[in-house]
A and B are shown apart, each in its own frame.
Chain A
């Protein structure tokens, strides 16, 4: 599997290890959808620290992964987008609209915890 997906409590942590080919991106998309469903996860962290660029294909895939997870009841946070990668994305004309982002894994986890806590409180 190109992108290991680890279960940590209610959350899944997917860490991209290196540049992904299109096929690997699609594989990752399927794997994640399957895991979110089978573990009934509440949150997903997508760690892209290792990615040295994001083009329209991969950012579109990440956006639809976040949407798919949401339909299954899990909130997604993308963490570790490098500043120059974010800059290139903006120049390209893309925004990760509707997708949560956080600086790093720790911040992403804190964000997910605050979300799920709020939801549980509201019940």
Chain B
């Protein structure tokens, strides 16, 4: 069983759309309300990062379920300026834009797996996973 949804992030209302899709898919997969909320919060943060730091991008949410594991994978991609120093961006309190710099380190705590691929000048891909044993 599986499902995949792509949400283009262009306007602020798309942030709401992306996190609602994530919540819906998590609940459909049998995740708890708490897990669905953690996921929605993480999606909201990466979606806003796209809007603020890269102007636009796409969030793909896919779910899969087998005998052992239920899993949701979220991939946020954009062709914005990229992140020069990923290590630094993952530090609590680092922000290039006067934000709190909590987003990325916080998202890492909300999710089970978290990875950033970014090349300076060539965009950013954040992929993150939440999984639960059946």
B92's nearest neighbour on chain A, judged by CB, is: A93
Nearest 9 pairs between A and B by C-beta? A92-B106, A22-B12, A55-B44, A84-B34, A84-B37, A88-B41, A21-B12, A53-B40, A93-B106
B100 at interface by CB-CB < 8 Å: yes
Interface residues of B (CB under 8 A from A): 12-13, 15-16, 19-20, 23, 33-34, 37-38, 40-41, 44-45, 48, 92, 99-100, 102-103, 105-107, 109-110
Q: Is the CB of B20 within 8 A of A91?
A: no
Give which listed residue, B12, B37, B100, B102, contacts A85 with CB less than 8 A. B37
Q: Is the CB of B45 within 8 A of A55?
A: yes
A94 at interface by CB-CB < 8 Å: yes
Alpha-carbon distance A60/B37, docked complex (angstroms) = 18
Q: Is the CB of A60 within 8 A of B100?
A: yes
User: How many contacting A-B pairs (Cβ < 8 A)?
Assistant: 70
A19: chain B residues at CB < 8 Å are 16, 20
Q: Is the CB of B106 within 8 A of A91?
A: yes
A56 at interface by CB-CB < 8 Å: yes
**Nearest CB of B to A83, in Å:** 8
Give which listed residue, A21, A89, A94, contacts B15 with CB less than 8 A. A21
> Could you say which interface size class chain A belongs to?
20 to 34
A57: chain B residues at CB < 8 Å are 44, 48
Alpha-carbon distance A54/B16, docked complex (angstroms) = 11
18 additional A-B residue pairs with CB within 8 Å, beyond A53-B41, A88-B38 = A21-B13, A21-B16, A22-B48, A52-B40, A53-B19, A53-B23, A53-B40, A56-B45, A56-B99, A56-B102, A57-B44, A89-B41, A91-B38, A91-B41, A91-B106, A91-B109, A92-B102, A94-B100
Residue-wise, chain A 38-80 has the 8 Å CB interface mask toward B (1 for contact) of 0000000000000011111100100000000000000000000
Q: Is the CB of B103 within 8 A of A52?
A: no
**Nearest CB of B to A107, in Å:** 22
Give which listed residue, A54, A55, A84, A87, contacts B48 with CB less than 8 A. A55
A23's nearest neighbour on chain B, judged by CB, is: B12
**Nearest CB of B to A93, in Å:** 5
